[in-house]
Amino acid sequence: MKNFARNSLKNKKFIIFGGGFSGQFIAHEIRKLGCEALTSSRRMQNDTTSFVFDSLSKELPPEDIFDRTTHVISCIPPDKSGKDPVLSRLLQKLKSLNLEWAGYLSTTGVYGNTFGEWVTEEDTPNPLQDRSKRRLLCEKSWLDSNLPIQIFRLPGIYGPGRSTFESILKKNIKVIHKQNQVFSRIHIADIANAIIYLLLKINNENFKQVINIADNYPTSQIEVIEHSYKLLGLKMPEPINFEDAKKLLSPIALSFWQENRRVSNALLCKDLGYKLIHENYKSGLRNCLDVIKEKNLIKFNYLKN
Ligand SMILES: NC(=O)c1ccc[n+]([C@@H]2O[C@H](COP(=O)([O-])OP(=O)(O)OC[C@H]3O[C@@H](n4cnc5c(N)ncnc54)[C@H](OP(=O)(O)O)[C@@H]3O)[C@@H](O)[C@H]2O)c1
């Protein structure tokens, strides 16, 4: 294990595999600290900080992108067989880099259904869905890789550009009522900032290999949707009962309703001292709406202030 004690990330170089929603946000935040951050995409982008990586293609990323790399993060989900797309193609390359740190974005789906009970990192994973079983295999591959790996288990990710507001305004939101069903969630800013916090503050003594990043307030989806409508100054449609809604949901959407758990952030926020930017969905949604307005992401003139 490397010495994790460090007080600056300046001049470090990060390679972020999977420059999707989280990957791009994390890259943006890391660059603010004076680091270099490259992100991958399966198709060529018109952007000098992006490189092509597709685990299903024969091509590997160009050698020179790895020069001086100190940190890597993978934001790529498992492939269909449960192999990790990055490790299956690049494990030897990553081992040759003498990395200071590697991060892997996983999901709290590995805990399976706890019937509304809280789960912590101490609980044995018990994945219910096939995709979560594949995820656990990927976690294991990273843990077995001998790289200086840290795994972040994430619940539903939201943030500006990916929130209930977009779904409401695109009219593809379903307002579903299911008694006692809760979901945990996390604002994208807290994923990026918690990772940076851990990189800056953690040393060998308090290093934890698996960490949940979740907000303080697991709650029903309907509560979040209702609040979103309120912020928009719009009337929420009548909720549909879950039993009636089942036939309207895709198999993947339905699978999320088969699991009910509250994800504890006590390790991150109490033991390791991270302070959430958005402790609950109300704070997170306010931020999403502010960014939508500020960046004119959606043009409509009936927003409440
Ligand atoms: N979204 C959620 O609510 C949520 C919750 C918990 C955990 N997670 C997990 O957290 C991670 C980040 O989530 P996200 O929502 O930010 O992901 P995302 O926006 O869907 O981005 C996924 C990235 O992976 C890349 N990718 C997918 N398959 C690939 C392959 N075979 N080879 C190379 N690259 C590949 C995509 O490439 P392109 O850019 O070319 O499309 C994209 O950049 C993912 O592992 C996700 O499963 C997500």
Q: Please tell me the pTM assigned to this model.
A: 0.95
Average pLDDT rounded to a whole number, residues 253-282: 97
Q: Ligand 1: distance of its center to the CA of 221 in Å?
A: 22
Residue 4 above 60 pLDDT?
Answer: no
Q: Ligand 1: distance of its center to the CA of 154 in Å?
A: 12
- Residue in 154, 187, 215 to alter for ligand 1 test, most ligand atoms within 8 A of Cβ: 154
- pLDDT tens figures, 42-87: 999 999 999 999 999 999 999 999 999 999 999 999 999 999 999 9
Pick from 75-84, 100-109, 117-126, 246-255: least confident: 246-255
**pLDDT band at residue 7, thresholds of 50, 70 and 90?**
low
Q: Whose CA is nearest to atom 46 of ligand 1?
A: 77
Show the ligand 1 pocket: residues with CB < 6 angstroms.
18-23, 41-43, 53-56, 75-77, 79, 85, 105, 107, 154, 156-157
- pLDDT tens figures, 230-241: 999 999 999 999
**pLDDT band at residue 1, thresholds of 50, 70 and 90?**
very low
Q: Ligand 1: distance of its center to the CA of 174 in Å?
A: 23
- pLDDT tens figures, 213-223: 999 999 999 99
What is the C-alpha to C-alpha distance for residues 75 and 103, in angstroms, rounded to an integer? 9
- Residue in 16, 39, 42 to alter for ligand 1 test, most ligand atoms within 8 A of Cβ: 42
Hey, what are 131's tokens? 């995709």
Q: Ligand 1: distance of its center to the CA of 94 in Å?
A: 20
What residues have CB less than 8 Å from 79, skipping those under 6 apart? 55, 56, 85, 88, 134
> What is the pLDDT at residue 172?
84
> What is the pLDDT at residue 241?
96
What is the C-alpha to C-alpha distance for residues 262 and 304, in angstroms, rounded to an integer? 31
Residue 3 above 80 pLDDT?
Answer: no
Residue at token pair 């409440």: 304
**pLDDT band at residue 252, thresholds of 50, 70 and 90?**
very high
Mean pLDDT, rounded, of the chain: 94
> What is the pLDDT at residue 221?
97
What is the C-alpha to C-alpha distance for residues 37 and 207, in angstroms, rounded to an integer? 23
Q: Ligand 1: distance of its center to the CA of 152 in Å?
A: 14
Length of the chain: 305
> What is the pLDDT at residue 297?
65
Contact 27, 33 (CB under 8 A): no
Residue 98 above 60 pLDDT?
Answer: yes
> What is the pLDDT at residue 277?
98
**pLDDT band at residue 299, thresholds of 50, 70 and 90?**
low
> What is the pLDDT at residue 205?
82
Q: Ligand 1: distance of its center to the CA of 27 in Å?
A: 14
